[in-house]
Structure 1
Amino acid sequence: MYPAKPNEPATGVPVGGPGTANQWSTGLFDCFDDCGLCCMTWCCPCITFGRVAEIVDRGASSCGTSGALYSMLLYFTGCHWIYSCTYRAKMRAEFNLPESPCCDCCVHFCCEPCALCQQYRELKARGFDPDLGWHLNMERRAGAGAGNVYPPAPQQMGR
C-alpha cells in the first residue's frame, strides 16, 4: 500500500479529486501479497476473472457467466486476454486509475495472472469482497449503514 498523503485517508487508498488519477493500491507484480489468490488465479483464472467482472459490471453479469465465457475464449481461441483487458479498462475508468505500467491490452497479454490478481486486490482495497459477488456486497454495505443488527440471544426456560 502507498503511504497516506494529506488528501488521502489513513487506509492508504488514494482518493484524488475530479480529473486527478488515483494510484493502484498494489503493484502489478505484488501477486504474492495474497498467495491463495495467486495460486487460484494461476490454476483457474476464470474464477478470479468472473469475480472481478461481476463487481466491475455491478452485478449485470454473474461470476459464473463471465468465468465460463473467459474459459471458452481461453481454451478455444487463446484470446481471453482481449476480453479481460476490457474489464481492466472499465475498472480504471470507474476508479480513475492510471493505465500503468503500460496499456491494458499489453498488461493482460503479457501478464494475465498478475493483472487479474492486481484487479482483485484493488477491489478488496476499495471495500469490496469479490468472493461474495455484487449483490451480497451491496447488502453488506446497506446493513453497515443501518447499524449492526444481531438476532436475539437464545433464551432458556428455568428448571
Structure 2
Amino acid sequence: MARVQTIEGRDPYAEVEIQSGQRQNYGEDWNSGLFDCFSDISSCLRVACCGCIYGPYLATKLDEHCCVGCCAQLPLRSVFRVKQGIRGSICSDCCSFMWCGGCSVCQLAREMKHRQIIK
C-alpha cells in the first residue's frame, strides 16, 4: 500500500512514495477529455480502422512489448498515467476502458502526441 508524504509548502499530491521507494509526481490532468476524439481525428481513425496495429505501435513507443498493445491496453494506459504523473486511479482507467475502450485508446494517443512521445 502506498503512503502519501506531504512536503511542507507543496501540494499534497506533488509527491507519493511507493513501497519500493520509487517516487512519482502526481497532479496533472489528461491534456484532453475522454470524448475529445474530434480534436485529433487522425488518431481516432487509426484506432477505429487499425486498432489491432495502432495499439501495438503505442506500446512499442512506451518501451513495452507489442503484444501489450494488442491484449492489455488497460494496463498500458495505467502504466502510462502513473509514469507521466497524471491524476487518476486503476478504477477510473478500468471504467473508461470498459465502457469506451476506443475513446480510452484515442485519449492515450492524444496524450502521447501532446508529450511528444509520438508524432
Q: Is the TM-score greater than 0.5?
A: yes
* Structure-2 separation of matches of 1:119 and 1:20: 17
- Is the CA contact (8 Å cut-off) linking 2:77 and 2:108 kept in structure 1? yes
- Is the CA contact (8 Å cut-off) linking 1:48 and 1:120 kept in structure 2? no
Deviation per CA, 1:125-146, whole angstroms, max 9, x where unpaired? Answer: 111116xxxxxxxxxxxxxxxx
Structure 1 vs Structure 2: percent identity of aligned residues? 31
CA apart distance, 1:123? 0.8
Equivalence for 2:93? 104
Moved over 3 A (4+): 16-20
Q: How does 1:2-41 map to 2 (within 5 A)?
A: 17-18=14-15, 19-41=25-47
* Structure-2 separation of matches of 1:106 and 1:44: 23
CA apart distance, 1:17? 4.5
- Is the CA contact (8 Å cut-off) linking 2:48 and 2:102 kept in structure 1? yes
- Is the CA contact (8 Å cut-off) linking 1:37 and 1:117 kept in structure 2? yes
CA apart distance, 1:66? 4.3
- Is the CA contact (8 Å cut-off) linking 1:48 and 1:117 kept in structure 2? no
Which residue type is aligned with residue 61 of structure 1? H
Among 106, 114, 117, which residue is 2:106 paired with? 117
CA apart distance, 1:47? 2.3
Q: How does 1:61-80 map to 2 (within 5 A)?
A: 61-62=65-66, 65-67=67-69, 70=70, 80=71
Larger radius of gyration: 1
Runs of 5+ consecutive residues of structure 2 not aligned to the other structure: 1-12, 16-24
Runs of 5+ consecutive residues of structure 1 not aligned to the other structure: 1-15, 71-79, 131-159
Q: CA RMSD in A?
A: 2.2
- Is the CA contact (8 Å cut-off) linking 2:47 and 2:54 kept in structure 1? yes
- Is the CA contact (8 Å cut-off) linking 1:54 and 1:61 kept in structure 2? yes
Q: How does 1:116-155 map to 2 (within 5 A)?
A: 116-129=105-118
The count of corresponding residues between Structure 1 and Structure 2 is: 97
- Is the CA contact (8 Å cut-off) linking 1:40 and 1:48 kept in structure 2? yes
* Higher-strand-fraction structure: 2
- Is the CA contact (8 Å cut-off) linking 2:43 and 2:110 kept in structure 1? no
